[in-house]
Amino acid sequence: MKKFSILNKIRENHLIAVVRGKEFDDTVRMIDSIIEGGIRNIEITYTTPRASELIERFSGREDICVGAGTVMSSGTADEAIRRGAQYVVSPHFDAEVSELCNLNQVPYLPGCATATEIVTAMKSGVDVVKVFPGGILGSSFIKDIKGPIPHANLMPSGGVNRDNMAEWIENGAFAIGIGSALAKGYDGTNPEVVRTNTESFVEAYKNAVKGEG
């Protein structure tokens, strides 16, 4: 039940902030500002210095859902889960990472770019597939995949902005990953910029859902 509870949290909050920081303290301020701005799913990537410490720091909060991103091996996945990561995200599919996550009842969201990769991931127990790179594949990719594979849960990462978010949602995105756009203009000393950027994406999402209804 743990795995499905986490997936429900991701689905309910829908937007996932993909955090790539340069300095530990700056990244802490960035994450705090993203949460203040209204996004509750926080993916802390392992390209960020002291990522494991950040995961442990924020995973204790009950108002957010913290995951580990850019996980390239089962060793990193194990470290992230032990530090409190509630879900694991990779730019590619890794069978060993999938097995480890399944054993720990932790959702694994691997990056896939073809129908074959998506089906392979789903056969291994993956519940949500990251559409990556989203900017190259485009929002129509989700609609095209869900035609022959309607039960595929797909989450784009990369290429989603305020103007095209409605297209991704209309085409059936399970959730949406948003990265560098949230930190645009942030220099480590002005976290209010991150909060404002986040608020604008949350507002765009609400408008997109309202328009769909």
Domains present along the chain, CATH in parentheses = 2-212 (3.20.20.70)
Instruction: Evaluate the omega torsion of the peptide bond into residue 133 and state whether it is cis, within 30 degrees of 0.
Output: yes
The region, left, alpha or beta by phi > 0 then psi within -120 to 50, assigned to residue 138 is left
Concatenating the DSSP letter of every residue in 32-52 gives HHHHHHT--EEEEETTSTTHH
CA 64 – CA 25 distance, rounded (Å): 19
Which pLDDT does position 212 carry in this prediction? 64
Contacts of 210 (CB under 8 A, 6+ apart): none
Q: Is the pTM of this model over 0.75?
A: yes
CA 202 – CA 40 distance, rounded (Å): 10
43 is catalytic: yes
- Give the active site residue among 12, 23, 56, 130: 130
Q: Is the pLDDT of residue 1 over 70?
A: no
Q: Over the stretch 33-84, which tens digit does the pLDDT of each residue have? A: 999 999 999 999 999 999 999 999 999 999 999 999 999 999 999 999 999 9
% of the chain surpassing 70 pLDDT:
99
117 is catalytic: no
- Give the active site residue among 43, 56, 143, 192: 43
Q: Is the pLDDT of residue 96 over 90?
A: yes
